[in-house]
Amino acid sequence: MEKMSKSKYNVVNPDDICEEYGADCLRLYEMFLGPLEQSKPWNTQGLSGVYGFLKKFYNLYFDGDAVSVSDDEPTKEEYKILHTLIKKVFYDLENFSFNTSVSSFMIAVNELQKLRCNKRKILEPLAIIISPYAPHICEELWSVLGHSKSIEFAPFPKLDEKYLAEDEIDYPVSFNGKMRFKLSLPADLEVKQIEEAILKDERTVKQLEGNSPKKVIIVPKKIINIVI
């Protein structure tokens, strides 16, 4: 890509970008380009993707032109999306990895959009998390949510690891080291319970062909290997 230079008349005026896309879009795009310490190619065509993300984010709080935020309790899946994001952003902030934070914002907003999430307990902390990166739009949404004080004074959401715990584990089930199928089991089962469950499974019965296994090797939350 050609280097920007006044002599080549290819300099992009930030004021023009702010006028067309908004200052938040410019801020996010510059952070999204890559690590701060690296030089990066600058291409205004990439702004449209960030602009699309901001529209999706903004629309989570609305149904058409009307504000639509519910006080219903979020689902476990919605909480998991939020707390996965909190954990990632904590790490990114400490390591100045702002580009990966922006990627995480996009993933979280896409997932919440698919779930049609409009829960206050999700959308309020979401706005706080994104506010250092896109302060203008988040300030507006904070006001829309009914707050009179600036979002800058809102405490950063706390991570709760319980929402990240897996309810089920997909165990790859192998016979003599060859994986044949997967079996979903509750994450809190003990080894003996896992062995009982796998030996009762009809797919295991078929593989054994009436024989008893020589050995059942179980690594909790990872693998099951049956030696026949």
Phi, psi of 44 (to 5 degrees): -65, -15
d(CA 218, CA 37): 45
Residue 21: which H helix or E strand, with range?
helix 14-21
Asked if 157 contacts 74 with a C-beta cutoff of 8 angstroms, the reply is no
* Residue whose pair of structure tokens reads 């990240």 in the numeric block: 164
What pTM was computed for the model?
0.68
CA-based R_g, the chain, Å: 24
DSSP letter, residue 210: T
Asked if 58 contacts 114 with a C-beta cutoff of 8 angstroms, the reply is no
User: What pLDDT was estimated at residue 5?
Assistant: 42
User: What pLDDT was estimated at residue 6?
Assistant: 41
Asked if 35 contacts 82 with a C-beta cutoff of 8 angstroms, the reply is no
pLDDT digits (tens, 9 = 90+) for 144-199: 999 999 999 999 999 999 998 877 888 999 999 999 999 999 888 999 999 999 99
Percent share of the chain, pLDDT over 90: 65
User: What pLDDT was estimated at residue 29?
Assistant: 83
Question: Of 190, 173, 191, 150, whose CA–CA distance to 227 is shortest?
Answer: 173
Q: What is the pLDDT along the chain (228 residues), one digit of tens a residue?
A: 444 444 443 456 666 666 666 678 888 888 777 665 555 565 666 687 888 999 999 999 999 889 999 999 999 999 999 999 999 999 888 887 888 899 999 999 999 999 999 999 999 999 999 999 999 999 999 999 999 999 999 999 999 999 988 778 889 999 999 999 999 998 889 999 999 999 999 999 999 998 999 999 999 989 999 999
Asked if 139 contacts 131 with a C-beta cutoff of 8 angstroms, the reply is yes
